[in-house]
Structure 1
Amino acid sequence: MNKVMLIGRLTKDSKIIKLQNSTRGAVKFRLAVNRNYSKDKDKKTDFIEIAYWSDHPCKMHEYLTKGKLVGVSGKIITGSYVDNNNIKKYFTMVQADTIKFLESKKEKAM
């Protein structure tokens, strides 16, 4: 089973990745997710890369802005590629199935 559920805030505005010759694309962003407090009460945060594939990525991009609190459910994906210097790079990210907005503009302003 590969299922992930996260709640966190966007660290910066999302980016759109479009496929050539297609309306399909992805909205990519980094989510700051707080960990549970440890015994010594140190606050830890994980920064997790998220990709959400859609036929209309521009619509989600408008709302996925820095500081926005969102819930994400999806799955972990891993992969690799060879960069321009012929070095193999590895990545891990969450491929989102669902994104929920968890606060309104009024709530954040308070």
Structure 2
Amino acid sequence: MKNFMLLIREDLALTSSRSEEEMQAEIDEYTRWVESLSAEDLYVAGDPLAPEGRLMTGEEVQSDGPFIESKEAVTGYILIKARDLDHAVELSRGCPVFRYGGQLEVRPVFSY
């Protein structure tokens, strides 16, 4: 098994406009999905990311937000185990982000 990073990308305007109940419903969906991955020993780690941040290039701060000229940002990550990229993509299809208008980037973790 190899590790794959799932980068959760969402529209910040949409995420900030959700009600408390809508946010809790989404959290509950993520919890169930992660529990299903854990039951198969495929979940490694994951967390939401705070909206504030800095984009840097060397010593220079390029942006005070998590994005440059974009309404979308990486709002979280999930690290999973999968046989290969196709398997990781298949496992990712169950991610709740798609029901909320977001995207998921699936990337293999490079190992030396």
Which has more helix, going by share of residues?
Answer: 2
Larger Rg computed on CA atoms: 1
Higher relative contact order (CA 8 A, sep 6+): 2
Q: TM-score, normalised by structure 1?
A: 0.29
Q: TM-score, normalised by structure 2?
A: 0.29
